[in-house]
Structure 1
Amino acid sequence: MRHSHGRTTEPARRGPDEHSLGATVTTARTRIVGARTGLVADAVVAVVRLWRTTLGVVSRGIAATSAVVTPLGWVVAALVPLALLGGYAWGWQELVVAGVVGASLALVALLYVVGSRRWTVELTPPPQRVAVGDPAQASILVRNDSVRRSFGTVVDLPVGTSVVPVPVPGLAARGQALRSVAIPTDRRGRLTLGPVRTVRADPIGLVRRERLWTAAAEFIVHPRTIDIPSTSSGLVRDLEGQPTRDLTSSDLAFHALREYMPGDERRHIHWKSTAKTGTFMVRQFEQTRRSHLVVALSIASIDFGSDAEFELAVSVTGSLGARAIRDAREVSVVVSAITPEFAKRAVLAVESLPTLTPNRLLDALAVVEHSPSALGILDTSRLAGESARGISVAFLVVGSTVTASRLRTAAASFPPAVEVVALQCDPDHVPGRRRLGAFTVLTLGSLHDLRHAMRGGDS
């Protein structure tokens, strides 16, 4: 466009109009009636909205009813109208009576789940970690937030796969009750406590209403362990700093003097001896052994005669590993791998347990179980020797069914420089110590025998 002043201007750009913008938006209305307007279109949309709202209400009602009505309740709900209709249609008074009784039972059952309690429930779990046999208690605080007195009831506390019922008395308005619950610790494992729940149900079992009041908490029962002597003394005194028969040109343990050879470091020349002999003499050292412990636990069922033997073996493994971790030793704790039930071939591997802290190790041992499809001590020893380098001492923890010949084969899986100690757990056997060739076998009848066995290395 040209103006009188001689300047040319462009026409103003217009944005998209309202109609073009609306055409790009897809809504529920456009999916139903498109761009149509008018009373008919509005009526169709209103009917669809009403249908969807009704369907949502019915769906929520069915879901809520399904959460309350038991399978027996659904059977009664289906049979009652059939009995009433059939009784009236065929003149069978017995069916009519049965239908009336069923309907009456259903109405009475509903009274058990109608209404709700205004409660505040708090669950205080025990310390997260305890040892087998140690006492552990959880506490449940129930507070009545209503202005009316509440009736006595029972709250359920799930503990693992079991449920502990906790009676709660009637509470006055704004009153509260504190209840303690003993947590069973007779077996190690990782348990889930809670959530605390209340269950309201009729005596016949037609309806059942469950309400959760708290969150769940984790609880770990560690294997029983015992404090044993430091790994730098006793039976394993040949660890860090103990010289071996391997000679080296640089270490801590002095061995002898020898003539200088090309390639020797000049800093190892012994000048006093050189002056006496007129020949360069250098120091020679014995290589010191580094403290890398390996504790290998077989979890093959064939290696144990009873569950008591296996539990003792787990406790022995935990005691050795925890002691080495507290001594700041380099330690590897391994258990044999389990082959899945339908696997085509055996899983040839070992599982390394965490050894960052004693608690991390005991957490892992809390869930270890023996299995008939786990690798035996022979494969476990071989794989443990291959997976860890620089091993100085290897502990093989087994049960009473492992023969001396199998132990000898397992010990031979490690290099000759590794000292192998087999710990055979047998509660029915007298504790003892014997030497089989190049390795030691310790028979343990109880966990306390481990402490004496580790001290016995000093003699």
Structure 2
Amino acid sequence: MHPKRYAARTASGIRQRHHFEGPVSAGPLRGSIDLRRLREYVPGDEVRHVHWKASARAGRLMVREYVDPDQPRLQVLLDTRTSVLTAEQFDTAVSVAASVLVVAAQYGQRLRLTTPCGTDHDVQSVSDLLDELATVEQSATTANLLESLPLTRDGGALVVLTGDALDLPSLKSSYRPVVYIDVTHEQSALHTAAGVHLIHADNAQNAVDAWNAVPA
């Protein structure tokens, strides 16, 4: 069963997306220089993007799907450690992750989901994302949460869902903005300190409400 979702807004304050023909507002981009995946041809796709070798292997037309290298990126780091989150708190974190990621996917943002128990991949579609979150499980690993985080200089946003105390200001040079969502608190609040937005939440709805209030 897919995790419950709440009405969330897209991440704000990250780099403006551009296409070779100028700035764009929303929706997935086509025809730029970064190859995202191969997918089945649909009417309206450009013939020049057909991958003939893959089409021959699959027995149907397959095309290359490209994305804008300046398209906003959203990295979500979901804590799966049983030493940090109870089962109920973990369910809350998964619901918040689903709420934030799905709306970002619908607006064409490039997404990456990472956990300390081995999950680390780009999200290709909303259905793939929800399937992944429906099956992700907690782990007894004691790995450092931030060690599983890929460092980047692309200006993407970072959302960390945990209850652990972390040195988040050190990540500001790699991600913008950085949003820390602590799902272990008994009261909900939003603070900004050292350039990091801190959300303390006692349930998923309040966490998403606070996320929606994060300033650009």
Q: TM-score, normalised by structure 2?
A: 0.67
The answer to whether structure 1 residue 394 and structure 2 residue 158 are counterparts is yes
1:292 corresponds to which residue?
73
Structure 1: 5+ residue stretches without partners = 1-220, 243-250, 253-288, 338-349
| Alignment equivalent of 2:189, drawn from 416, 426, 432 | 432
2:102 corresponds to which residue?
322
The answer to whether structure 1 residue 301 and structure 2 residue 58 are counterparts is no
Change (3 A) 1:358 1:374: farther
2:4 corresponds to which residue?
224
1:238 corresponds to which residue?
13
The answer to whether structure 1 residue 369 and structure 2 residue 141 are counterparts is no
Question: How far apart, CA to CA, are the structure 2 residues paired with 1:307 and 1:417?
Answer: 29
1:445 corresponds to which residue?
202
Listed one character per residue, the Cα deviations across residues 200-256 of structure 1 (whole Å, up to 9, x for unaligned) are xxxxxxxxxxxxxxxxxxxxx111111212x1xxxx3212429xxxxxxxx97xxxx
Moved over 6 A (4+): none
* Cα contact 2:168–2:196 (8 A) shared by 1: no
Letter in 2 for 1:435: T
Question: How far apart, CA to CA, are the structure 1 residues paired with 2:150 and 2:172?
Answer: 9
Letter in 1 for 2:150: A
Question: How far apart, CA to CA, are the structure 1 residues paired with 2:188 and 2:173?
Answer: 28
Question: How far apart, CA to CA, are the structure 2 residues paired with 1:458 and 1:320?
Answer: 15
Letter in 2 for 1:312: T
Alignment of 1:336-415 (within 5 A): 336-337=116-117, 350-353=118-121, 355-373=123-141, 375-380=143-148, 383-385=149-151, 388=152, 390-399=154-163, 402-403=164-165, 407=166, 409-413=167-171, 415=173
Higher relative contact order (CA 8 A, sep 6+): 2
Q: CA deviation at 1:308?
A: 0.9
Question: How far apart, CA to CA, are the structure 2 residues paired with 1:374 and 1:312?
Answer: 21
Question: How far apart, CA to CA, are the structure 2 residues paired with 1:433 and 1:313?
Answer: 16
Secondary structure of residue in 2 paired with 1:384: coil
* Cα contact 1:228–1:450 (8 A) shared by 2: no
* Cα contact 1:353–1:364 (8 A) shared by 2: no
Secondary structure of residue in 2 paired with 1:222: coil
Alignment of 1:24-173 (within 5 A): none
Letter in 1 for 2:94: V
Question: How far apart, CA to CA, are the structure 2 residues paired with 1:457 and 1:439?
Answer: 10
Letter in 1 for 2:16: G
Secondary structure of residue in 2 paired with 1:434: strand
Listed one character per residue, the Cα deviations across residues 389-432 of structure 1 (whole Å, up to 9, x for unaligned) are 51421011102xx13xxx2x244145256321101112x51110
* Cα contact 1:354–1:360 (8 A) shared by 2: no
Give the number of the structure whose residues are more often helix, by fraction.
1
Secondary structure of residue in 1 paired with 2:140: coil
Change (3 A) 1:240 1:391: closer
Letter in 2 for 1:239: I
Change (3 A) 1:410 1:300: farther
Question: How far apart, CA to CA, are the structure 2 residues paired with 1:421 and 1:442?
Answer: 7
